[in-house]
Copies of this chain bind each other. A is one copy, B any other.
Amino acid sequence: MSLIVMKFGGTSVGSIDRIKNVARIVARKKDEGHDVIVAASAMSGETDRLIGLLKEISPDYSPREYDQLVSTGETASVPLLAQALLTMGYDAKSFTGLQIGMQTDGTHTKARIKNITGEKLKDALSKGTICVVAGFQGYNPDTGDVTTLGRGGSDTTAVAIAAAMKADVCEIYTDVDGVYTADPRIVKDAKKLDTISHEEMLELASMGAKVLQSRSVELGMNFNVDIMVLSSLEDKPGTLVTSKEEKEMERIVVSGVTSDKNQAKITILGVSDKPGVAAGIFIGLAEANINVDMIIQNVAQEGQTDISFTVPKTDLVKTMAACRTVAEKAGAKDIVYDENISKVSIVGIGMKSHSGVAANMFRALSDNNINIKMISTSEIKVSCVIEEKFTELAVRVLHDTFISEKR
């Protein structure tokens, strides 16, 4: 017998019929003889409804009151799921974050988990009870205030509970059935991965794979929690995010190809090549709350250099405004931007021990007349900024080069 944590998102519990469907999935797991803890989000639409009410009072709301209000979405969905299980004849109980001892710091609206005491969970599990826990919420033990973990925080709740309770696996049920080697809408022969490492998943998630909240993957990596990504609509195997079989996985060099069209490139021209200038620019952007992704600084010529970086396209206007201020301070000559770009990336833990992967990527792109505008590399990822119109072509070329042919 093992302990399994199952997580269902807002869409999965979005109506009474869907809640009943989730109850059936949970009951099946219980029938297989496992101990089960379920983490659930608010019914879809509910969180937005509550935030809408608060914003109607003031767009500049108190983070503490926001948390007190918005957490009720999850607090309301879990007794409904518990009731659905009870009605099916299973013993079940709902719990708030506070009730399971989900202790966080006091950073309202994006609290970090510090500890899960979990006494009530242990007690209920020992009686064979299915525990249904409100996702997304915790509390600050110093003040007793309710906190929330930030949007998508229910994934984090589930993985944190799995870590604290030493669960055998944390199953995340979503509307996709796993993690693919590429977006199946772009690459017809994209394959569902049986396993992927946390590190690879982290690179994929932060690039917009949108399957798992990256914070939950990070947590899973730190506490060595196996995370299974599954469909809540179909009963079939998903993708296991694990770091337990790294050796096996090393045989695969590239696990996935992704792209991100929400990218814009900004270049600050003619910046003095002095220490502290780049720092000055990016501290200024950080203060304006702009999330900079790739950064490239050209080799200096005649004491001057150009600095290019990418930001989410949706932040372009804000970024240009902030840039004008910081560029002026840095004595820059001009600022130019390009929003017709996208980023394509290959991700694979096998890259660590395989040389020439990046070179192969550049060659595959150039063979197809795709010009590379920027490059950034990490231990397990290579990303290239290209013209936006070539995005799908590039993804297919890279999938053919690194994945399809190797299988």
Residues of A within 8 A of B (CB): 16, 19-20, 50, 53-54, 56-58, 60-62, 64-66, 68-69, 72, 75-76, 78-80, 82-84, 86-87, 93-94, 96, 98-99, 120, 144-146
- Residue pair A99, B144 in contact (C-beta under 8 Å): yes
Partner of A86 from B16, B19, B58, B145 at Cβ < 8 Å: B58
- Residue pair B76, A80 in contact (C-beta under 8 Å): no
- Residue pair A68, B54 in contact (C-beta under 8 Å): no
Task: Please give the count of copies of this chain that the complex contains.
Answer: 2
- Residue pair A79, B69 in contact (C-beta under 8 Å): yes
CA distance A99 to B54 in the complex (A): 21
- Residue pair B53, A65 in contact (C-beta under 8 Å): no
Instruction: Tell me whether A20 and B57 are in contact in the complex, defined as CB-CB below 8 angstroms, given that A68-B94, A76-B50, A144-B99 are known contacts.
Output: yes
Partner of A56 from B16, B54, B72, B94 at Cβ < 8 Å: B16
A interface SS class: helix
CA distance A351 to B44 in the complex (A): 59
Partner of A72 from B19, B75, B82 at Cβ < 8 Å: B75
Closest to A60 in B: B87
CA distance A248 to B19 in the complex (A): 60
Instruction: List residues of chain B with CB within 8 A of the CB of A87.
Output: 57-58, 60
Q: Give the distance to chain B from A196, nearest Cβ to Cβ, in Å.
A: 36
Looking at A53, A60, A146, which has the most chain B CB atoms within 10 Å of its CB?
A53
CA distance A326 to B145 in the complex (A): 54
Partner of A84 from B20, B57, B76, B144 at Cβ < 8 Å: B57
- Residue pair B80, A53 in contact (C-beta under 8 Å): yes
Instruction: List residues of chain B with CB within 8 A of the CB of A72.
Output: 72, 75-76
- Residue pair A53, B16 in contact (C-beta under 8 Å): yes
- Residue pair B76, A64 in contact (C-beta under 8 Å): no
Instruction: List residues of chain B with CB within 8 A of the CB of A120.
Output: 144
CA distance A8 to B333 in the complex (A): 62
Instruction: Tell me whether A82 and B53 are in contact in the complex, defined as CB-CB below 8 angstroms, given that A72-B72, A98-B98, A99-B144 are known contacts.
Output: no
Instruction: List residues of chain B with CB within 8 A of the CB of A58.
Output: 83-84, 86-87
CA distance A120 to B56 in the complex (A): 28
